[in-house]
Copies of this chain bind each other. A is one copy, B any other.
């Protein structure tokens, strides 16, 4: 196994000058994307992802012109580069920066959208594609059921980055946490689904296999989460116990960074979902570990993780943009342009229908079970949630490459068409839908500040950032229903109570448990280091 790393490390480095040229060009383009993105910040249609995508496509065209069409592989999309190096920092940062209170308050709704919704979407796209492709006789009849299910998983993976860049966590906390939480759970669900499809023999599906499939899926979900929580707690314990910041703040930052990455790699090692693991590791680290480190480590980790995630995101969009022009694949399908357009259109349509099919029903279900008026998902918000999940991004690309290429090359025309169709769907949905996101949200939420003060209580406004996570005035015993037990219960709200009380009870139990058992061991908010806050760090001398 050491041998493998050696090979890997030696492979990732080629001495020739060309790779230096490529890296320089790529880094320069990344800088360019950030600067252009900054300049276009005020412009109502643009955001960083679309900028990077456009710059990527333009650079691809330029390279194609300079090389006079010779370079057929401008950039080979590598799913492992994506899954091993780029995705972990993005997902970890998502967990690290998420507003935990909002996230867990809406946990059930998020799981409804992210897991159940993704399954519905997956089923609709799979069977829709199967019916449509067969009926239209597009000529990729060699596809078996496994391929169609894979298509379902590929196009069930949303990319809500564009929407999240526009939504404001403080102004519309409910909407933000739903879109955001669904995005993460959706990523995990579709990757887990995709892997399950590849591992199961799907030629003969019966109830037993479907049940086993579902059990497998559930087990993966739970063990992945548990692993993330465990690694996060371990990091909190180590840093609290050893008090590493005493000697060097850099060591704390390094330990946090390495353990976060380790959690992802361990999950991959045990064939779990690295995305879920690293997401929950991020949540636990922000709840415990982050409060155990020195003040400067806190500032550093908060911004360093956000920066890494930011750069990785731009990298992906730039990369997808440049990869869109892999002319080898386009040549493969150039004699049948109609087919490619038809398939792309069908898939885009299925994506829109598949998403509508679960967002609106599940929202209504969620509203039925909600007690407080500020947790109601209004119709306009439902439209935004629907819209937010229409974009397809790098996860879809990576899965498509995994399914339809062999070592970077498509073997049959059908596979080549699926790759070019995926690229088309990603480009069209990100550019066209993405460009319309900002105006659409402005239209649907015309006065965000006003809406937010209606739609959310004070606890959800920015102030909550400074309010302790434990809340206040709700110190009732675990198991006691607190405020609810003293109120007369109108019959109409009994269904709601049945569904809301457990959530609140769980929250209370968690608070008690956290205070009594977790914090003394793992630290967390309010943990005061025994030495001054900013110890003189010998290894990091001050800048002069």
7 A-B pairs with C-beta separation under 8 A? A20-B269, A27-B262, A37-B251, A254-B311, A296-B299, A297-B303, A464-B544
Distance in angstroms between the alpha carbons of A409 and B296 in the assembled complex: 46
Asked if B303 contacts A543 (CB within 8 A), the reply is no
Distance in angstroms between the alpha carbons of A67 and B81 in the assembled complex: 28
Residues 1-23 of A contacting B (Cβ, < 8 Å) = 1-23
Asked if A302 contacts B12 (CB within 8 A), the reply is no
Asked if A80 contacts B14 (CB within 8 A), the reply is yes
Q: Give, as a whole number of angstroms, the nearest-CB distance from A3 to chain B.
A: 5
Q: Give, as a whole number of angstroms, the nearest-CB distance from A199 to chain B.
A: 13
Distance in angstroms between the alpha carbons of A196 and B259 in the assembled complex: 42
Q: How many copies of this chain?
A: 2
Residues of B within 8 A of A38 (CB): 242, 244, 247-248, 251
Asked if A84 contacts B303 (CB within 8 A), the reply is no
Residues of B within 8 A of A307 (CB): 250, 253-254, 257, 300, 304
Residues 367-414 of A contacting B (Cβ, < 8 Å) = 408
Which of A28, A67, A303 gathers the greatest number of chain B CB atoms within 10 Å? A303
With an 8 A cutoff between CB atoms, is A491 at the interface? no
Residues 153-208 of A contacting B (Cβ, < 8 Å) = 165, 168-170
Residues of B within 8 A of A97 (CB): 540-541, 543
Distance in angstroms between the alpha carbons of A5 and B4 in the assembled complex: 22
Residues of B within 8 A of A76 (CB): 6-7, 9-10
Residues of B within 8 A of A6 (CB): 22, 73-76, 78
The closest CB in chain B to the CB of A103 belongs to B544
With an 8 A cutoff between CB atoms, is A465 at the interface? yes
Q: Give, as a whole number of angstroms, the nearest-CB distance from A345 to chain B.
A: 29
Asked if A306 contacts B27 (CB within 8 A), the reply is no
With an 8 A cutoff between CB atoms, is A145 at the interface? no
The closest CB in chain B to the CB of A25 belongs to B1
Residues of B within 8 A of A37 (CB): 251
Distance in angstroms between the alpha carbons of A238 and B39 in the assembled complex: 12
With an 8 A cutoff between CB atoms, is A89 at the interface? no
With an 8 A cutoff between CB atoms, is A30 at the interface? yes
Residues of B within 8 A of A75 (CB): 2-3, 5-6, 9
- Complex partner residue of A311 from B258, B286, B300, B303, CB under 8 angstroms: B258
Residues 63-86 of A contacting B (Cβ, < 8 Å) = 63, 67, 71, 73-76, 78-81, 84-85
Asked if A303 contacts B81 (CB within 8 A), the reply is no
With an 8 A cutoff between CB atoms, is A290 at the interface? yes
Asked if B254 contacts A310 (CB within 8 A), the reply is yes
With an 8 A cutoff between CB atoms, is A43 at the interface? no
With an 8 A cutoff between CB atoms, is A334 at the interface? no
Residues 522-544 of A contacting B (Cβ, < 8 Å) = 538-544
With an 8 A cutoff between CB atoms, is A255 at the interface? yes
Residues of B within 8 A of A249 (CB): 303
Residues of B within 8 A of A60 (CB): 2
Distance in angstroms between the alpha carbons of A465 and B100 in the assembled complex: 40
A4-B16, A100-B544, A253-B307 known, 13 other contacts, Cβ within 8 Å = A2-B60, A8-B13, A11-B14, A15-B79, A20-B268, A23-B84, A27-B265, A30-B258, A99-B544, A169-B541, A254-B310, A286-B544, A296-B303
Distance in angstroms between the alpha carbons of A100 and B541 in the assembled complex: 12
Distance in angstroms between the alpha carbons of A491 and B382 in the assembled complex: 89
Name the 3 nearest CB pairs between A and B, nearest first. Answer: A5-B22, A12-B12, A13-B80
Distance in angstroms between the alpha carbons of A71 and B2 in the assembled complex: 8
Task: Decide: A34 near B254, CB < 8 A? Known: A165-B539, A539-B306.
Answer: yes
Residues 453-504 of A contacting B (Cβ, < 8 Å) = 462, 464-465, 469
With an 8 A cutoff between CB atoms, is A236 at the interface? no
Q: Give, as a whole number of angstroms, the nearest-CB distance from A164 to chain B.
A: 9
Q: Give, as a whole number of angstroms, the nearest-CB distance from A141 to chain B.
A: 28
Residues of B within 8 A of A306 (CB): 250, 539-540
Residues of B within 8 A of A262 (CB): 24, 27-28, 31
Distance in angstroms between the alpha carbons of A60 and B3 in the assembled complex: 11
With an 8 A cutoff between CB atoms, is A512 at the interface? no
With an 8 A cutoff between CB atoms, is A322 at the interface? yes
Task: Decide: A81 near B10, CB < 8 A? Known: A97-B541, A307-B254, A310-B251.
Answer: yes
Residues of B within 8 A of A20 (CB): 84, 265, 268-269
